[in-house]
Amino acid sequence: MMPEEKPFYRRIRSFVRREGRLTKGQQRALEELWPRFGVDFTPQLLDLDDLFGRQAPRILEIGFGNGGALAQLAQQHPENDYFGIEVHRPGVGNLLLHVEQDQLSNVRVSQHDAVEVLEQQIPDNSLDALYLLFPDPWHKKKHHKRRIVQSAFVEMVRARLKSGGVFHMATDWEDYAEHMQEVMREFPGFDNTAGEGKFSPRPDYRPQTKFEQRGQKLGHGVWDLIYRKKG
């Protein structure tokens, strides 16, 4: 008699790998700079002090795109450490080029599924802030289940943030902003820094991307949501 097989559950991913072509510079950066600034995925917790070689405020960004905004943050705030996660190799290569050009020592990069990195590599109570800026909106209703901002994800973020840590989301899709607010209402462990049911103005620390600037010229809105973990 064959043993009973356990059902296989595949987690719904919030991203699709759209692998663009690497430039020669991006390819070189991945080959030469990854050993120093890249973080390979392994299912074990990281020692962030050891990873960065110091103790400092730690900020993690999920989905940094081409890396320009994250590099700008790291350059403007050398007192902070920045851990960026992006699944697309051209963006990772581009950020590494910025790291080299601007001589940034406070950036580390992961090219892996952000949920798995958070779940298995980032210790509890270790982050001062987590940025989720312009995630894939999955705007068709049948795809809303793919949106990364869901209850289980927010609970994971809450666990990884220190007391008083900030969870900052931004989107240029109004219905996704409303979805984010609805999900966050379920968590009494967070305070909306703008007040219940309100959106925040763009803080000075969040650089405007070229994509965002182009959208605003076309009349597109942008919604920032900033929540603080209660002590």
What pLDDT, in 10s, does the model give residues 99-109? 999 999 999 99
Q: Which one is catalytic: 113, 136, 172, 191? A: 136
Alpha-carbon distance 180 to 195, whole Å? Answer: 15
Alpha-carbon distance 183 to 177, whole Å? Answer: 10
User: Angle at Cα 49 formed by Cα 125 and Cα 86, nearest 5°?
Assistant: 75
Alpha-carbon distance 212 to 122, whole Å? Answer: 29
Q: Is the model more confident about 79 or about 14?
A: 79
Query: In this structure, are residues 43 and 102 in contact, taking their beta carbons and an 8 Å threshold?
Result: no
Alpha-carbon distance 114 to 124, whole Å? Answer: 15
Alpha-carbon distance 54 to 37, whole Å? Answer: 15
Alpha-carbon distance 79 to 225, whole Å? Answer: 24
Residues 6+ apart with CB under 8 A from 13: 113, 146
Q: What is the pLDDT of residue 150?
A: 94
Burial 123-160 (b: 16+ CB within 10 A, else e): eeebbbbbbbbbbbbbeeeeeeebbbbbeebbebbbbb
Map residue 18 onto helix, strand or coil: coil
pLDDT in tens, 52-64: 999 999 999 999 9
Q: What is the pLDDT of residue 92?
A: 98
Q: Across residues 117-143, what is the average pLDDT?
A: 89
Concerning whether 191 is annotated as a catalytic residue, the answer is no
Q: What is the pLDDT of residue 213?
A: 81
Query: In this structure, are residues 37 and 62 in contact, taking their beta carbons and an 8 Å threshold?
Result: no
Query: In this structure, are residues 146 and 13 in contact, taking their beta carbons and an 8 Å threshold?
Result: yes
pLDDT in tens, 145-194: 879 999 999 999 999 999 999 999 999 999 999 999 999 998 889 999 99
Kindly indicate the confidence band of residue 139, based on its pLDDT and cuts at 50, 70 and 90: low
Task: Please say if the pLDDT value at position 73 is more than 90.
Answer: yes
Q: Is the dihedral of CA 197, 226, 224, 88 positive or negative?
A: negative
Task: Please say if the pLDDT value at position 116 is more than 80.
Answer: yes
